[in-house]
Amino acid sequence: LYFNGRASGARFYLTFLVGSARSDGRRAAGVRLQLDRGAGMETFSASEPVTDAAAMRAPDLAIGASSVRLDGMRYVIHLDLRDARGRRARADLSLEAAPGRLLPPLEIAGVRGWRTGYVVPVMSGKLDGQIAVDGRRVPLDGGTGYHDHNWGFWKGVSWQWGQVQQNDLSVLYGRVFPPPGAADPERLPGFVGVLGPDGPIGYTTDVTIAETNDARGNPQAIAVRARGAQVDLSLIFSVESAEVTRGGSGGPAASGLDFYQLRGTYNVDGRAGSTVLAFAAPGSAETFRGR
Per-residue confidence (pLDDT) for residue 249, from 0 to 100: 52
Per-residue confidence (pLDDT) for residue 128, from 0 to 100: 97
Per-residue confidence (pLDDT) for residue 196, from 0 to 100: 85
Residues with Cβ within 8 Å of 72's Cβ and at least 6 positions away in sequence, in order, are: none
User: Are residues 159 and 144 in contact, defined by beta-carbon separation less than 8 angstroms?
Assistant: no
Average pLDDT over residues 199-207: 91
- pLDDT bucket at 64, cuts 50 / 70 / 90: very high
Q: Residue 209: phi, psi to the nearest 5? A: -130, 110
Per-residue confidence (pLDDT) for residue 108, from 0 to 100: 83
Pick the residue with more confidence: 291 or 57? 57
Whether the predicted pLDDT of 32 surpasses 90? yes
Q: Could you read off the pLDDT of 157-188 as tens digits, one per residue? A: 889 999 998 888 899 999 988 887 887 777 67
CA distance 12 to 83: 15
C-alpha distance from residue 210 to each of 114, 135, 175, 282 (Å): 28, 42, 12, 19
Per-residue confidence (pLDDT) for residue 254, from 0 to 100: 55
Average pLDDT over residues 54-79: 97
- pLDDT bucket at 267, cuts 50 / 70 / 90: very high
**Long-range contacts (CB closer than 8 Å, 24 or more residues apart) made by 96-99:** 96/122, 96/125, 96/126, 96/127, 97/73, 97/121, 97/122, 97/125, 97/147, 98/73, 98/122, 98/125, 99/73
Average pLDDT over residues 220-225: 98
Average pLDDT over residues 17-26: 90
Per-residue confidence (pLDDT) for residue 291, from 0 to 100: 56
CA distance 99 to 155: 32
Most confident of 6-20, 182-196, 243-257, 267-281: 267-281
CA distance 103 to 156: 24
Under DSSP, is residue 157 helix (H, G, I), strand (E, B) or coil? coil
Number of residues assigned to the chain: 291
Per-residue confidence (pLDDT) for residue 255, from 0 to 100: 59
Q: Is 39 exposed, middle or buried (0-12, 13-18, 19+ CB in 10 A)?
A: exposed
Q: Could you read off the pLDDT of 108-160 as tens digits, one per residue? A: 888 888 888 889 999 889 999 999 998 899 999 999 999 999 998 887 888 99
Per-residue confidence (pLDDT) for residue 231, from 0 to 100: 96
Residues with Cβ within 8 Å of 184's Cβ and at least 6 positions away in sequence, in order, are: none
CA distance 117 to 266: 26
- pLDDT bucket at 67, cuts 50 / 70 / 90: very high
Q: In what order do the strands lie in the sheet with 206-213?
A: 199-204, 191-196, 169-177, 158-166, 275-289, 258-272, 231-245, 219-227, 206-213
Per-residue confidence (pLDDT) for residue 111, from 0 to 100: 87
Dihedral, CA of residue 94, residue 98, residue 100 and residue 105, to nearest 10: 30
Per-residue confidence (pLDDT) for residue 248, from 0 to 100: 57
Q: Could you read off the pLDDT of 226-261 as tens digits, one per residue? A: 999 999 999 999 999 998 888 755 555 455 788 898
Task: Work out the mean pLDDT of the chain and round it to a whole number.
Answer: 90
Average pLDDT over residues 70-87: 97
CA angle 110, 116, 120 (to 5 degrees): 145
